[in-house]
Structure 1
Amino acid sequence: MLSSSVTDEWKFTEFVLAAQQESFLYDIPVVQGPAYTTVSIEQKAYVNFAGINFLGLQQDPQVLEYFTRAAYTYGLVTGGSRMTQGVSQAHRELEEMICRLTGKERTITFASGLLANLGFVHAMSSQCYMNPHCSIDNRDAIFVLDHDCHWSLWKAVERFPFGKQLFSFRHNTPAHLRELLIPLAGKKVIVIFESVYSSDGSIAPIGEILDICEEYGAISYVDDANGFLIYGPEQRPFAHEFAHLPRATFIMMSFAKSVGLEGGAIAGPHDAILAFELLSGTSLFTAAMQPPTASTAHMIIQKLQTHPHLVDTYLERAALFRQRLTEIGCTLYSSPSYITSIFVGSDSKVKCIRRAFHEQNYIIPVFHYPAVKQNQAIVRIILHAHHTEEQINAFLELLAELKKLYAF
């Protein structure tokens, strides 16, 4: 076996030591058992406020029983990529359901939302020459992203020259988007933004952005990873904005949030989505979601559609949680979505806060540089539908104490 000295030139050891010293990197805990409202780490129970599968349906006994049956029906693996041996019936049924939900002509599923985003950008900017009768060349595509788009989207577009094929508009600022699109009129432009942003919980002005896209002939791609199955119905917050979502050319959704399972999908025009089978790369050159996962996702989506109170009740509880945070003096980001970001500011303070919670057997997610700007650190909480009142009260009491101690 080669020694680590082989990689000395790459400076990994120095980087890791510095990252550990500055608390950017720490030992990743090993979770024993399921990731739920509590998790077991080294035989000790921790209250988990870091989970993103916040409705908890993946732990429902009926769902677990369904998954087990689906595993026997479809097997545990796809056995290869979609193009090599075909798509599982479980995937096709899920894709057809998403078409009905979104009003789009065709859907393609991926192993994760991240792979969907990477695959979309690659497909929309591909050159592919099969023979003189079958070729495509969209290397002249131009991407315009909201500044706060997810890492996967910025990673996907990083090869494009900024100011020529890549532009960024100020977060949730349609006027700035318009300024950028005016000189790009008539070109192949794709505007990319999110419905709900994961770091601060802000909601996009979906209607305004789509109005501008339509005015200047730009294709629109909405990353709806955080909004999928949560926002949209009239009785829920932000219904006015989400009523515009079907107007987007493409809609991406992740199943890791509301559905609680791994996987993602893109819905859009029939021929474009069909072409993605070849052009995305993240479909052609890797396997899809496990078939029982796809089938169970279908089941959970159907459950959320037929039992809307599951989400309605959750959103009411999340709103009350936000109110209680305000009552103890926390500074919250302005959008009252279920993603609750508590502003701390100091990078060093937020690391101390995370450590203090850990010592009291709580796991909380903190965002500090480089995830956010320096000294713009936050504690990002997504309340779980099954957190008990006792767990929530103890969390708020500890947070109030730390707020006084660290003055944030």
Structure 2
Amino acid sequence: MIPGAVHGTDELITNFASVNFLNLQRRADVMDCLVDATRQYGLGSGGTRVIQGITPAHVDMEQTVARYLNKEAAISFATGTVANIGFINAMAGTQQFMQGLAMVNRDVVFVYDRDAHWSLWKAAEGLKFGERLFSFQHNSVESLEEVLRKLRGKRVVVVFESVYSIDGTVAPMHELVDLCERYGALSYVDDANGFLVYGPPNRNFHVEYEGMLRATFIMVSMKKAVGLEGGLIAGPKDAIDSFELISGASSFTAGVLAPAAAGTAYITRLLAYEEPQIVDDYLAKVADFRSRLLDVELPITDTATCFTSVVVGDEAKCVELYNAYLEQGIRVPPYLYPAARRGGAVLRIILNAGHTEEQIEHFIEVSKNFRDQKML
């Protein structure tokens, strides 16, 4: 529940927008971890990673995440967006540190999935399309191979997401990484949306996530399953160590706050090893929710991930629906261009582990009414 449709009022509404979908901060043990770390380290960062270093909490977090992802090392950044920008800057830039010491990457080219996150496209906006920046059709192995075939002999980084939050699709990661290996390209997977949710054998998309673990680099966000703020990149140790200097994101902005670092390490171990049933129960709740939406014939996205969108198409109509839901005490955010394709606007629904049956039923009843009124 968050402040109401008119900001500044004391009216409470039901929030289907929050990406903190497991709501773990309400657990006493998680709160104790965060509070204890706050007492030990405070809430200020004190400066950048390069200037002042990091705390034991950061070391623990980075080592824990690297082990979980089966990578040699990991480095943390203030957000997933900052991590993405730092990675592209490190891999694309030319930096002269001092006489005789430089990093020259002006010949590196990037190949993006066309639906890659805004932050990745933003990071690459200084690269000329068709020379250093290319794209392939969304989740298309054939399209990627066509592009890579034309780039033989070049230093290539292929960039894609694991789970795409707008359409809910999951990348064919085994096949994409296979192509990268065959053509000698590095691979970078943005796993902001699936970290700690998908991967185990008993869950959907296990095969795809086995493929992801073979990628050169994996970026994860703390905002989703963990429910905190920050991003990490895991990969080969020599590259990860270099990112501290050449990303720029560790030199010119503060990083993850120490309490969030401590909380991330704690929650990662909790969800991955100690209580994976938390995620299993949540995914079962999502599956039931999606089934009920389909039963009332709502036009939702096809792939059964924890990101479900109502497909609207027209941007103006999508904003009207957003406001209509607000009037009924429900927040469901509209995603328009550039978050979604032009003419492909959606309302993205994120079920929270804390949503009550009453709140869910209210959402479904309101949606049925909108459907009957031809608004959906």
Report the TM-score, using the length of structure 1 for normalisation. Answer: 0.89
Could you tell me how far 1:78 is from its partner in structure 2?
Answer: 2.4
Q: Supply the distance in 1 between the matched residues of 2:289 and 2:303 (Cα, whole angstroms).
A: 14
Contact 2:21–2:353, Cα closer than 8 Å, also in 1: yes
Name whichever of 57-66 and 290-299 sits farther off.
57-66
- The yes-or-no answer on 1:237 pairing with 2:200 is no
Q: Supply the distance in 1 between the matched residues of 2:242 and 2:303 (Cα, whole angstroms).
A: 37
Contact 2:15–2:332, Cα closer than 8 Å, also in 1: yes
Counterpart of 1:35 in structure 2 is none
Could you tell me how far 1:61 is from its partner in structure 2?
Answer: 2.6
Could you tell me how far 1:64 is from its partner in structure 2?
Answer: 1.7
Counterpart of 2:307 in structure 1 is 339
Q: Supply the distance in 1 between the matched residues of 2:343 and 2:76 (Cα, whole angstroms).
A: 38
Matches within 5 A, 1:60-99: 60-99=27-66
Counterpart of 2:294 in structure 1 is 326
Contact 1:39–1:46, Cα closer than 8 Å, also in 2: yes
Deviations 1:171-213 (Å, cap 9, x if unpaired)?
Answer: 0001000000012112110000000011111100000100100
User: Structure 2: which 5+ residue stretches go unaligned?
Assistant: none
Q: Supply the distance in 2 between the matched residues of 1:287 and 1:191 (Cα, whole angstroms).
A: 28
Could you tell me how far 1:139 is from its partner in structure 2?
Answer: 1.2
Which of structures 1 and 2 has the larger relative contact order (alpha carbons within 8 angstroms, sep 6+)? 2
Query: After TM superposition, what 4+ stretches of structure 1 lie above 3 angstroms from structure 2?
Result: none
- The yes-or-no answer on 1:186 pairing with 2:149 is no
Counterpart of 1:362 in structure 2 is 330
Could you tell me how far 1:126 is from its partner in structure 2?
Answer: 2.0
Q: Supply the distance in 2 between the matched residues of 1:57 and 1:44 (Cα, whole angstroms).
A: 24
Q: Supply the distance in 2 between the matched residues of 1:137 and 1:375 (Cα, whole angstroms).
A: 40
Identical columns (%): 45
Counterpart of 2:18 in structure 1 is 51
3-state DSSP of counterpart to 2:373 = helix
Q: 2:143 aligns with which of 153, 176, 190?
A: 176
Counterpart of 1:403 in structure 2 is 371
Determine which structure has more spread, i.e. the larger CA radius of gyration.
1
Contact 1:110–1:116, Cα closer than 8 Å, also in 2: yes
Q: Supply the distance in 2 between the matched residues of 1:335 and 1:304 (Cα, whole angstroms).
A: 23
Matches within 5 A, 1:249-288: 249-288=216-255
3-state DSSP of counterpart to 1:406 = coil
Deviations 1:141-188 (Å, cap 9, x if unpaired)?
Answer: 100000000000000011111111100100000100000001211211
Name whichever of 187-196 and 336-345 sits farther off.
336-345
Counterpart of 1:372 in structure 2 is 340
- The yes-or-no answer on 1:156 pairing with 2:117 is no
Could you tell me how far 1:131 is from its partner in structure 2?
Answer: 3.7
Contact 1:78–1:88, Cα closer than 8 Å, also in 2: no
Counterpart of 1:39 in structure 2 is 2
Deviations 1:284-331 (Å, cap 9, x if unpaired)?
Answer: 111111111111111111111210100001011101111111111112
- Summarize the Cα distance change of 1:373–1:393 in structure 2 as closer, same or farther, 3 Å threshold: same
Query: Could you tell me which amino acid in structure 2 is paired with residue 186 of structure 1?
Result: G
- The yes-or-no answer on 1:382 pairing with 2:350 is yes
Q: Supply the distance in 2 between the matched residues of 1:378 and 1:134 (Cα, whole angstroms).
A: 48
Contact 1:74–1:90, Cα closer than 8 Å, also in 2: no
Q: Supply the distance in 2 between the matched residues of 1:407 and 1:82 (Cα, whole angstroms).
A: 50
Question: What is the RMSD of the two structures over their aligned residues, measured on CA atoms?
Answer: 1.2
- Summarize the Cα distance change of 1:80–1:407 in structure 2 as closer, same or farther, 3 Å threshold: closer
Q: Supply the distance in 1 between the matched residues of 2:315 and 2:254 (Cα, whole angstroms).
A: 39
Could you tell me how far 1:370 is from its partner in structure 2?
Answer: 4.4
Name whichever of 58-67 and 184-193 sits farther off.
58-67
3-state DSSP of counterpart to 1:243 = helix
Q: 2:168 aligns with which of 201, 213, 230?
A: 201
Could you tell me how far 1:347 is from its partner in structure 2?
Answer: 2.4
Q: Supply the distance in 1 between the matched residues of 2:220 and 2:111 (Cα, whole angstroms).
A: 19
Q: Supply the distance in 1 between the matched residues of 2:97 and 2:373 (Cα, whole angstroms).
A: 65
Query: Could you tell me which amino acid in structure 2 is paired with residue 323 of structure 1?
Result: S
Query: Could you tell me which amino acid in structure 1 is paired with residue 284 of structure 2?
Result: E
Contact 1:349–1:406, Cα closer than 8 Å, also in 2: no
User: Structure 1: which 5+ residue stretches go unaligned?
Assistant: 1-37
3-state DSSP of counterpart to 2:207 = helix
Number of residues paired by the alignment? 371
Query: Could you tell me which amino acid in structure 2 is paired with residue 235 of structure 1?
Result: N
Q: Supply the distance in 2 between the matched residues of 1:216 and 1:281 (Cα, whole angstroms).
A: 29
Report the TM-score, using the length of structure 2 for normalisation. Answer: 0.96
